[in-house]
Structure 1
Amino acid sequence: MHHSVSAVLLFLFLAGEGAALAQSPSSPVGLSVRRIELVSDDAQPAIEVAVSPGLSTVFLFDSEVNREGLTLEGRERFAMLDAGLSTLRLVPSEKISAGERLKLTVRFQDGAAPVSATFVLVAHPARSEAHVEVYRRKRRVETYQEEVRQARLEAEKCREENEHLRAARNTPDGLTGLISTGVLGRRSVEFRDVTDGVPLGPGGAADKHSVYAYRTARRVAVVVALMSRRDAQPWAAVGAMLRGKGNEELKVLQVWQSGPLAAGSALQRVVVEAEAAEETPQGRFTLTLWDADMRRTVTLSNITFP
């Protein structure tokens, strides 16, 4: 009974309060395949590409590359660097630091302009660009058509999200709001204390005190109580990712922190709310939290939902 009451109170709090540190997660919308066209002169600027520890980023070129002419800054920070005739696969290791910027230069075999392409690999604690197509020559019509199709799909997703936001503005607060939106279905709110089975990743920005997992008909939430480390700088989570064993991601809807975590401060709670159908998620998830500059993170693995 105590667990049920605390779970309902949590969701009422999230639905009805507007705390100072309540923030929307920084999850930029992008196409599933990124396409880059190189210019044929020296004015081509370095192109930023997001990479993340343990996640693969594959470059596909429309020209053969000179594998011996490939240079990668901080090569020791990558677990894999596999260069083919027209492909390049990168997998950063845990040695790479969030926010780190490393230069990658690729040279082409035929010597035609442009003779090379330079990329800046920007390390993110959880997100990466999985597929990057690089064009030196004029692109085929089919690639433009596919890009337009993907852009339309993304625009439709944005339209649906805007409609949900407009509807939410007219939704009542508290228990009524949870019922009216269907978040609180017949299964009510289920709660699980997962503190003992959830390890904290090394080198994190804070220490773990407790971890609770919640589930409703259409939402899941993770509540993490964090303790500041001695002499640590103030820290606040601004973004989060919930990733499953198969690299599937739950759509994070909100990240909320009760207050900045600082040396000598009390425990601070971080609540991460995500969208999930009733039959999902199954299995174990890893939660990654990051601050504004993405350099100081908190990672918790082995999270299971009721």
Structure 2
Amino acid sequence: MHPGLSTSILFDAKLGRVELPGRERFRVMENETGLAIVPTWALSQGERVLMTVTFEDGAAPASVRFLLVVHASEAARQVVVTRQPRSLESLREGEQRARAEARQCREDKARLETECSGPRGVLGLLAQGLLDEGGIADKNITKNVISRPDNTLKSVKGRSYRLDTGRVEGEREVVRLAVAQQLRNHGSTPWTPGGAVLIGPKGEEWKVLRVWSQEPIAPGNQRNVGVEVEMPEDAARGTFTLKWWGQEAGSGSEHFDGVTFP
């Protein structure tokens, strides 16, 4: 959601109640089967608000929750929600999946905490079991990476990295990938990395584990930035697009095509 821009949410059932904490910071327009939400500038970038919508008919699921996230440059203009009544067995299956996902999140959190608390550098990689006989493969992608014409940032240098994690999830080997870039700011305001996603050959998005940067990139200057992501080994093939967005209000997305891995 973006302050001043409306997001419409349409349902296929009549609404009973809308619970929105801090409602005075939004403009909300409701009717029987939909609502329009306009966040005001009282909300800060990255702020998250949990909204609960309850349906009038009482059928399962009786309600739905939305995590509203304020973004500096992106907003979903329309969301269509189709509710399919579910049996008790289906609800139990959904609960089991949710528990499995929560367990996976806890395991990922524990792994990241271990990585941050242990030794750094080569010893850190050895301690985490990430550095085997093959080591870390790297590839110079400077000439392959294409900065889109509407970008404010241009890629000056680029290198990609790949290493095996030794983990298997869902019978698929997991690899860790990284992209390091040197970006030059051709805009008129400083730019600070706020987040990134890696977009695969089929349009699938892979959220990064972490974003690294030296410092904000001032206009006319260039700095090093990097991202790190994990995915199944068979998904790490082909050509990717790296999409960045900045922390500054009003900064748009920066797209870099042609990213490949060794």
Please classify the TM superposition score into its range, dividing by the shorter chain length.
Answer: 0.5 to 0.7
- Give 1:207's aligned residue: 154
Q: 1:258 to 1:98 in 2, by over 3 A?
A: farther
- Give 2:32's aligned residue: 115
Per-residue deviation, 1:116:
2.4
Per-residue deviation, 1:150:
3.1
Alignment of 1:247 with 2:207, yes or no, is no
1:119-134 aligned within 5 A? 119-120=36-37, 134=81
Q: 1:109 to 1:154 in 2, by over 3 A?
A: closer
- Give 1:91's aligned residue: none
Alignment of 1:217 with 2:121, yes or no, is no
1:69-84 aligned within 5 A? none
Instruction: State the distance in 2 between where 1:166 and 1:107 align.
Output: 40
Q: 1:203 to 1:135 in 2, by over 3 A?
A: closer
- Give 1:272's aligned residue: 227
Q: 1:195 to 1:142 in 2, by over 3 A?
A: same
Once superposed, what is the RMSD of the aligned Cα atoms?
3.8
**Match of 1:185, as an amino acid?**
D
- Give 2:186's aligned residue: 229
Q: 1:194 to 1:215 in 2, by over 3 A?
A: same
Between 194-203 and 163-172, the greater mean CA deviation after superposition: 163-172
Q: 1:183 to 1:138 in 2, by over 3 A?
A: closer
**Match of 2:35, as an amino acid?**
T
CA displacement, residues 227-255 of structure 1 (integer Å, 9 cap, x when unaligned)? 1115x211111211011112334441110
Instruction: State the distance in 2 between where 1:127 and 1:187 align.
Output: 41
1:89-108 aligned within 5 A? 101-104=5-8, 106=10
Normalising by structure 1, report the TM-score.
0.56
Normalising by structure 2, report the TM-score.
0.64
1:122-201 aligned within 5 A? 134=81, 141-142=88-89, 144-201=91-148
Secondary structure in 2 matching 1:238: strand
Per-residue deviation, 1:171:
2.0
Report if the CA contact (8 A) 1:126-1:241 is conserved: no
The share of aligned pairs that are identical, in percent, is: 29
Per-residue deviation, 1:174:
1.7
Per-residue deviation, 1:276:
4.0
Secondary structure in 2 matching 1:145: helix
**Match of 2:6, as an amino acid?**
L
Per-residue deviation, 1:280:
4.9
Q: 1:156 to 1:302 in 2, by over 3 A?
A: same
Equivalenced residue count is: 206
**Match of 2:260, as an amino acid?**
T
Q: 1:304 to 1:116 in 2, by over 3 A?
A: same
Q: 1:162 to 1:196 in 2, by over 3 A?
A: closer
Alignment of 1:284 with 2:239, yes or no, is yes
Q: 1:99 to 1:135 in 2, by over 3 A?
A: same
**Match of 1:115, as an amino acid?**
E
CA displacement, residues 92-143 of structure 1 (integer Å, 9 cap, x when unaligned)? xxxxx98783343648699x996321255989799999xx784789865455
Instruction: State the distance in 1 between where 2:32 and 2:241 align.
Output: 42
Per-residue deviation, 1:205:
2.8
Report if the CA contact (8 A) 1:242-1:288 is conserved: yes
**Match of 1:224, as an amino acid?**
Q
Instruction: State the distance in 2 between where 1:298 and 1:244 align.
Output: 16
- Give 2:26's aligned residue: none
Q: 1:98 to 1:254 in 2, by over 3 A?
A: same
Secondary structure in 1 matching 2:236: coil
Out of 220, 234, 256, the residue aligned to residue 212 of structure 2 is 256
Identify the structure with bigger relative contact order (alpha carbons < 8 Å, sequence gap 6+): 1
